[in-house]
Amino acid sequence: MAGSSSAYDVIIIGAGAAGLMCAATAGYRGRRVLVLDHANKPGKKILMSGGGRCNFTNLNSTPANFLSDNPHYCISALKRYTPQDFLELVDRHDVEYEEKAPGQLFCRDSAKDVLNVLLTECEWAGAEIRLKTQIQKVREVNGGYQVVTGSGVLSCESLVVACGGLSIPTMGATGFGYELARTFGLNVLPTRAGLVPFTLQPELKQQLAPLSGVSCPVDAHCHNEHFREPMLVTHRGLSGPAMLQVSSYWRPGDEVHINLLPGQPIREDLLALRKQKPQSTPAQYLNQHLPKRFAQAFNELQGWHGPLQGCSNQDIEQIADTLGNWTVKPAGTEGYRTAEVTLGGVDTRQLSSKTMAVLDRPNLFFIGEVVDVTGHLGGHNFQWAWASGVAAGNEA
Ligand SMILES: Cc1cc2nc3c(=O)[nH]c(=O)nc-3n(C[C@H](O)[C@H](O)[C@H](O)COP(=O)(O)OP(=O)(O)OC[C@H]3O[C@@H](n4cnc5c(N)ncnc54)[C@H](O)[C@@H]3O)c2cc1C
């Protein structure tokens, strides 16, 4: 197919994490590759990720760290391109990194380092990147594809859709990948914001407002998916890693259960305290284990007054239950505006788990976040972008 200037072997729509990885992989195979993006810069989400330092992989990533309607789909690609493989790549480029939490690798300096790795690899592999390109139409022609852009018609043998999800529209996110999938008759599973802060009902929001900025380690769960990580109270609601993780499992109307003192035998502690220091209060107990501001406000919220000696066994039971299973019914989430990922997307039952190609269209590929595979917080989403990008790049 290569020959004229507008004919490529592979066109990739989306110069993000998955698209750039795919471009380099296909380029190294000798394919003539063009990456198209409507944005003015490639890899904008990489640059803003991990607080500007890009949590680029997770050494402990397993398929259990991913949500999908078809949970086995991601296994093959993740197995064939592992966190260690990406680590070797960043090592080859002398990127300095650090493990900020167990398994979570971040750039020591800046997320730019990871983007530079990908752009350098694309350059070495001879893949061309064309930005500020509006894609008007994609059509199938003679077993290949034509991509109609604002600046001309391009053609390719293989088309890779890597245009991400709906999160952070200000960074260039669009639903274009889903539209394309539908155009080609594919099923798109309902999308929703994931890894996103919760908003609260006005009353609770007001009660917790003085705690804005306070963080404490909790065990939070929803639909029996537990996350033992910090929770952060914000002026809008509840955030922090524990809440972001749980948000991916949460549906409107669900309750979120929060153990404020994970690992602590709360009931036994309170019973012992009542016996040994009957004058002590639940507030004092909380003060020992939680940040002071949080302890005070939570105590106010619950209206726990007076010493433990005035508490019956049933009262103690109730206090222990509230601390160990504080139940919050969020009003909603902050939505795509601040979500790190989009859940749902192109139904993987129609794709090859080995190549990411559509089962009955072997030269049309969907990779990265546009597909119904979503990782937990902690570098898993980039690992999926790399792994799915490599899988498609080896075939496209
Ligand atoms: C604030 C934030 C922080 C994050 N931090 C981390 C982290 O530290 N670790 C981690 O693993 N994950 C993180 N993520 C998630 C991660 O960024 C995504 O999972 C990953 O970028 C998905 O890669 P992708 O290539 O599929 O999509 P993207 O990286 O979103 O790339 C899609 C590309 O397609 C382009 N595009 C979209 N529509 C069109 C169109 N119509 N025409 C042409 N081009 C189009 C976009 O401009 C973009 O360049 C974070 C996300 C956010 C929002």
CA-nearest residue, atom 36 of ligand 1: 163
CA-nearest residue, atom 22 of ligand 1: 369
Looking at ligand 1, which atom is closest to the CA of residue 380? 11
Ligand 1 centroid distance, CA of 350 (Å): 22
CA-nearest residue, atom 37 of ligand 1: 163
Looking at ligand 1, which atom is closest to the CA of residue 339? 53
Ligand 1 centroid distance, CA of 175 (Å): 12
pLDDT tens digits, 313-357: 999 999 999 999 999 999 999 999 999 999 999 999 999 999 999
> Residue 5 — pLDDT band, cuts 50, 70, 90?
low
Sign of CA dihedral 385, 386, 389, 391: negative
Residue at 261: amino acid letter: L
Q: What is the mean pLDDT of residues 181-194?
A: 98
CA-wise closest residue to 119 among 243, 235, 24, 8: 24
Lowest mean pLDDT among 2-11, 241-250, 303-312: 2-11
* Centroid of chain to Cα 66: 9
Give the Cα separation of 106 and 112 in Å (integer): 11
Q: What is the pLDDT of residue 170?
A: 87
Give the Cα separation of 49 and 244 in Å (integer): 15
Q: What angle, 0 to 180 degrees and rounded to 10, lies between the N-to-C axes of helices 266-276 and 313-324? A: 140
DSSP states of 355-368 = T-EETTEEEEEE-G
Task: Report DSSP state, residue 371.
Answer: B
Residue 56 has pLDDT above 80, yes or no: yes
Cβ proximity of 307 and 329 under 8 Å: no
Mean pLDDT of the chain: 95
Q: Give residues (CB < 6 A) around ligand 1.
A: 13-19, 36-39, 44-45, 48-50, 54-55, 135, 162-164, 167-168, 172-174, 176, 340-341, 368-369, 379-382, 385
| Alpha helices, H only, 209-306 | 240-247, 266-276, 282-289, 292-302
CA-wise closest residue to 375 among 65, 91, 27: 65
- Using DSSP bridges, classify how beta strands 225-233 and 215-222 pair: parallel, antiparallel or unpaired: antiparallel
Lowest mean pLDDT among 40-49, 238-247, 290-299: 290-299
pLDDT tens digits, 100-128: 999 999 999 999 999 999 999 999 999 99
Q: What is the pLDDT of residue 211?
A: 86
The sheet that has 256-259: what strands, in order across it?
Answer: 326-328, 256-259, 215-222, 225-233, 237-239, 198-199, 332-333
pLDDT tens digits, 77-104: 999 999 999 999 999 999 999 999 999 9
CA-nearest residue, atom 6 of ligand 1: 49
Q: What is the pLDDT of residue 305?
A: 86
- Residue found by looking up tokens 């730019």 in the block: 112
Looking at ligand 1, which atom is closest to the CA of residue 42? 49
Ligand 1 centroid distance, CA of 165 (Å): 7
Looking at ligand 1, which atom is closest to the CA of residue 163? 34
**Helices and strands in the chain: count of H runs, count of E runs:** 13, 22
Percentage of the chain modeled with pLDDT above 70: 99
What share of residues in the chain are helix, strand, coil (percent, to 5)? 40, 25, 35
